[in-house]
Structure 1
Amino acid sequence: MGLFPWQRVLALIGATFVIALPDSYDSHWSAKDIIIRDVCVIGGGSSGTYAAIRLRDMNQSVVVVERKDRLGGHTETYTDPGTQAKLDIGVRIFHNTDLVKNYFARFNVPLITADLQAPGESKYVDLRTGAVVTNFSPGDPTAALGAYAGELAKYPYLDAGFDLPDPVPADLLLPFSDFATKHRLEAGVGLIFRFGEGIGDMLRLPTLYAMKLVGLRVLQSIQTGFLTTARHDNSELYEKAQAVLGADNALLLNSHIISTQRDTNDGYVRVVVATPSGQKLIKAKKILLTIPTTLDSLDHFDLDGSERSVFKQFNPNGFYTGILRNTGIPDNTTIINTGVDTPFNVPFLPGVYSIDPTGVPGLHGVIYGSPNLIPGERVKDDIIAAIQRLRTAGTLPTTKPEFAVFSSHSPFMLTVPSNAIAGGFYRQLYALQGHRHTFYTGANFHTHDSSMLWQFTEALLPRIVA
């Protein structure tokens, strides 16, 4: 069915005021197109899938609305057609916690300790020129990481979310470059940067974001070992969760939101969704929103003034990943983009972070970051040009590679400037929990770390079902 006239008007003008739906509204829908649930989960990535499974455990009826044809979000796995080898190109590692192990165990997905040692040789190359950065060594980061852990220990609340004290500690507001210099972390910045890939221009961002992405739990896992799936197929978790939710008629894949109305007379929010089988009306007691809360992402939501004033402050960055064929780079060689003249020798962005062996002959993984959003085709062209510069510089006999698979994980990090953090931005953001029957989880409410997001979501669930 098409949009009602008032929906068309609201969509066109981007209205932010509230209209209570008339009691007769539902009568315009066929019964087969109305879905009634306790909770409508919007987004089927890491947080949304976990929440839907756990809400089901808590005797809540759910429906998940997901744009893609699968669950998992940034957890993506490529199957090489020649060898049938599985290669994770999104989320690759997890923390060794009981929550993680129990979640995988319920779906009979075995875990092993991840091997993060790059095979063969690592070349430190400035990919702006393709030349090896001479006389460069990453050095021993042990002492610097110890000092960094000492600083992290001052802010244990960061592992639970953005529930910051007032006033916000001054060190958390410093650009990370200044923080690293102040606390003599120079030898550890390279490793912190690599574990924080995707954050964008880490050195200029407030230290808060570096500490959120590379926190105490990450440092502990570096020492004790991360986990990954024994079959090297992290998507298996989501395929099995998808089977469970699909059997409950709890999934709307390849679907997107047309409109929402969260101020009604009967306590049910309304969500109009375009699905492959036509438009559906979801009536739910609560919404759990897990997608990035940018104004672009929420352009079909009935945002009020308080929501819009918070979400409009976010600045998104870009993160991209893929698998390359026939690069000319040896199968046992890792290329680490290293700035010859940049602070701490971190790579200049936008640009490639690294090009890594996959263990499958002829295939290399690539990850790319940008401080802002850029088109995927431009990213692909830049990656290919960077690889060809290795040949021009005489570093390696590279060729023009092809993408076996490419994926944009953008918008990735959502950040705000230090003055906004100091002014109480995260208090305002968290105050939206439960506002207008809507709850939030996902990376911009905590961090880009599946294990930590499941922990955050678990803590939020009692509020949703109350």
Structure 2
Amino acid sequence: MFSRISTAAVVAQLAMGVVASPCKVPTINSTVAAWQAKYPGATVQSADVVIVGGGSSGSNAAINLVDAGKSILLIEKKAQLGGMVDSFTDPTTGTVYDFGVATFTNLTGTEAYFERLGISTKSPTFGATTPYYVDFTTGQTIDYVAPDVVSEFAALGVYHDVVAQYQDLFFPSYANWPAPEDIPEDLLMPFGDFAVKYNLNDTMLLLWAGIGAGLADMLDLPALYVMQTFGAPTAAVFLGTDVQYVPESGRNQDIYDAVASILGDAVMLNSMVTESVRLANNQGVALLVENQVSGDYTIVTAERLVMAIEPTASNLAPFATDSTESAVFNKGTWSVVSTGLVQHPSLPADALIYNLPASAANGNDFAYPEPPFVDYFEAVGDGYFQAIVVGWEGFTVEEAQALAQDAIEKLADAGTIDPTNGVPLTIAAWSDHGPMDMRSTKEDLQAGFIQDQYALQGYRSTYWTGAAFSNQLSTYLWAYNLEYLVPLVVASF
């Protein structure tokens, strides 16, 4: 059986002399030889498994595969592992602020993973804040009355119990996902309708501000994707019936520094795949990898490839996806999230300023800003505020930062905060989390989207981890790797 190769990939391979005709699949040896001729200084490295993406899912998969007896190479485009963990250290005080990943929930394998890395943990502490409800398009406060805590948690308990009924269908993986005709209607209906059905009004702001805002259109998409993102284990943490952890050091980046230390020379930082060949029937892969700092090339060969990056068109461009793969990923929709650590003297020191439209006044629990939007400014200490900005795929860092600056100016112009006196927002640190929370439509789900997606596991020697196949949260991804992905990859040898 031959894997299908796109026309563009064939043209590129012909130009390198890798294939002689469009119907002939390249071999790993011929590919390596062609790349060595084109890049004579390139080194060659081999492993059982090569992993692309050193964020939460890729780093964890690498450790689990090593522990399963497999040799690995881990390719990461940034200068450190960890993806969007985002730990910032104040250069004056030495205080650490984690403005990407906040805490880690108590899921399957979490404690054992921390022990494997030599990371001691503690329970997180949170500072008190004063909530403000403001329409960021005008800067004016709105007459939103938040539910009391008892009512909020009662509604969250209902949400937890309903989601728990369906959890095995999509957590930690979709291995148990039902046939299209058997998908429960609760999972397919728009989340706004689901929330009305179960009278979740009093916990809607918690669901939105907790995680849901990152979806950009929480009310409109199939309820499945909200349940996947804000699952029963996460609800249990908010309810206080389960625990959460942070490293004893208070610096989440320590987790990934420990991974890098364990993996040593198997980690390729500042590196990106520029070309690839992936063969059918688990016959292996070859990747041409460029170091973005030195400009040096490495040719990587492996029996299996694990993709730990979001499968967007731009991310997958070097991997020459074929029609089978594109038919799945082209149906995906992504929101884009930026998170920043910012300062401004006009922001109240203890403020948590929520962005809600004017229509959220007078008890409307189903009104949220339209993308792109700033989700909130939250005081985290010493004059620092975390800012979350959300848009659709293609929304840039520059646009996100400009939107945050515009929000500050509107708040000041409306008299909601002190005048800015021309002082701009200070950006201490900023992280582009990029496309997140891939989702599809009800119609695609009913047409077998999940089945088609998971059928890609092992196709062209490639296996998939990351949020598009599981969940955006670190500990969910670790459970997915431990219980589903790593056993699948190991069994393929």
TM superposition shift of 1:389:
1.4
Is contact 1:16–1:303 with CA below 8 Å preserved after alignment? no
1:445 matched to 2:469? The reply is yes
Residue in structure 2 matched with residue 93 of structure 1 by the alignment = 103
Give the equivalent residue in structure 1 for 2:286: 270
**Distance in 1 of aligned mates of 2:337 and 2:25:** 38
Give the secondary-structure state (helix, strand or coil) at the position aligned to 2:46.
Answer: strand
Aligned to 1:414: 438
How many pairs were matched up? 456
Partner of 1:137: 146
Q: CA 1:65–1:317 in structure 2 vs 1: closer, same or farther (change >3 Å)?
A: same
Q: Which among 294, 302, 310 is matched to residue 292 of structure 1?
A: 310
* Correspondence for 1:353 among 375, 380, 384: 375
Shift of 1:356: 1.0
Do the aligned partners of 2:107 and 2:233 also contact (CA within 8 Å) in 1? no
Deviation at 1:150, TM superposition (A): 2.6
Distance (whole Å) between structure 2 residues aligned to residue 277 and residue 51 of structure 1: 27
Equivalences for 1:246-257 in 2 at 5 Å? 246=264, 249-257=265-273
Distance 1:228 1:177 in 2: 33
**In structure 2, do the counterparts of structure 1 residues 394 and 173 end up closer, same or farther at CA, with 3 Å as the change threshold?**
same
Partner SS, residue 382 of structure 1: helix
Counterpart amino acid of residue 174 in structure 1:
M
Higher mean displacement: 276-285 or 380-389: 276-285
Q: How much does 1:23 deviate?
A: 4.4
Q: Distance in 1 between matches of 2:472 and 2:112?
A: 20
| Match for residue 25 of structure 2 among 19, 22, 36 | 19
d(CA) in 2 for partners of 1:25, 1:145: 55
The answer as to whether partners of 1:64 and 1:252 remain within 8 angstroms in 2 is: yes
- TM superposition shift of 1:311: 1.1
**Pair 1:186-2:201 in alignment:** yes
Alpha-carbon displacement from aligned partner over 1:37-93 (angstroms, at most 9, x marks no partner): 000001000010011111111221100111111100111111111111111111111
Alignment of 1:140-219 (within 5 A): 140-157=151-168, 158-162=170-174, 163-166=176-179, 167=181, 168-196=183-211, 197-219=213-235
1:164 shift after superposition = 2.1
Provide the rounded CA distance (Å) in 1 between the counterparts of 2:410 and 2:32.
61
Deviation of the 1:344 alpha carbon: 2.1
Letter in 1 for 2:374: V
Structure 1: distance between partners of 2:15 and 2:317: 14
Rounded Cα–Cα distance in structure 2 between residues aligned with 1:333 and 1:265: 56
- 1:390-405 pair list within 5 angstroms: 390-399=411-420, 400-405=424-429
Change (3 A) 1:218 1:135: closer
2:260 counterpart letter in structure 1: Q
Would the aligned equivalents of 1:329 and 1:398 in 2 still touch at CA under 8 Å? no
Q: Which whole-Å CA distance do the structure 1 matches of 2:198 and 2:26 have between them?
A: 55
Q: Offset at 1:231? A: 2.0
Deviation of 1:257 after TM superposition, in Å, equals: 0.9
CA-CA distance at 1:200 after TM superposition: 1.4
Unaligned runs of 5+ in 2: 1-8
Amino acid at match of 1:369: V
Shift of 1:416: 1.0
How far apart are the structure 1 equivalents of 2:333 and 2:144? Answer: 37
- Does the C-alpha gap of structure 1 residues 59 and 135 become closer, same or farther in structure 2, counting only changes over 3 Å? closer
Please tell me whether the aligned partners of residues 103 and 246 of structure 2 are also in contact (alpha carbons under 8 angstroms).
yes
- Equivalent residue number for residue 349 of structure 2: 331
Which residue number in structure 1 is paired with residue 254 of structure 2?
236
Are the aligned partners of 1:129 and 1:393 in contact in 2 as well (CA < 8 Å)?
yes
Q: CA deviation at 1:274?
A: 1.0
SS in 2 for 1:390: helix
CA distance in 1 between counterparts of 2:118 and 2:280 reads 42
Distance in 2, matches of 1:149 and 1:4, equals 50
Q: Secondary structure at the match of 1:306?
A: helix
- CA separation of 1:131 and 1:9: change in aligned 2, threshold 3 A: farther
Cα 1:9–1:422 shift into 2, 3 Å: farther
**3-state SS of paired residue (1:103):** helix
TM-score normalised by L of structure 2: 0.87
- Higher alpha-carbon deviation: 105-114 or 319-328: 105-114
Contact 2:172 2:477 in 1 (8 A): no
2:71 is matched by which residue type in structure 1?
A: S
1:188 alignment partner, SS class: helix
Q: In 1, are the aligned partners of 2:336 and 2:436 still within 8 Å (CA)?
A: yes
Task: Note the alpha carbon deviations across 1:219-278, whole angstroms, 9 max, x for none.
Answer: 1112233222222210011011112222xx211111111111112799331111112351
Contact map agreement 1:21 1:265 (CA 8 A) in 2: no
**How far apart are the structure 2 equivalents of 1:18 and 1:184?**
59
Contact conserved, 1:16 with 1:302, CA < 8 A, in 2?
Answer: no
Partner residue of 1:463?
488
Residue 272 of structure 2 contacts residue 290 of structure 2 at CA under 8 Å; is this kept in 1? yes
Aligned partner letter, 2:479: Q
Distance 1:331 1:278, change over 3 A: same
Structure 1 portions without partners, runs of 5+: none
Letter in structure 2 aligned against 1:225: V
Amino acid at match of 1:428: D
| TM-score, normalised relative to structure 1 | 0.92
Equivalent residue of 1:180, what SS? helix
Contact 1:318 1:409 in 2 (8 A): yes
Amino acid at match of 2:325: E
Secondary structure of the residue that 1:412 maps to in structure 2? strand
The letter of the residue matching 2:64 is R
Counterpart contact for 2:337–2:391, Cα < 8 Å:
yes
Aligned to 1:63: 73
CA distance in 1, matches of 2:193, 2:431: 33
What amino acid is the match of 1:37? A
Three-state SS of the structure 1 residue aligned to 2:353 is strand
Report the aligned-residue RMSD.
Answer: 2.4
**Residues 1:219 and 1:315: Cα distance change in structure 2 (over 3 Å):** same
Contact 1:7 1:259 (C-alpha < 8 Å) held by counterparts? no
Stretch of structure 1 that moved more, 20-29 or 128-137:
20-29
CA deviations 1:303-328 (Å, max 9, x no partner) are 22211111111111110101112242
Structure 1 counterpart of 2:64, from 54, 57, 71:
54
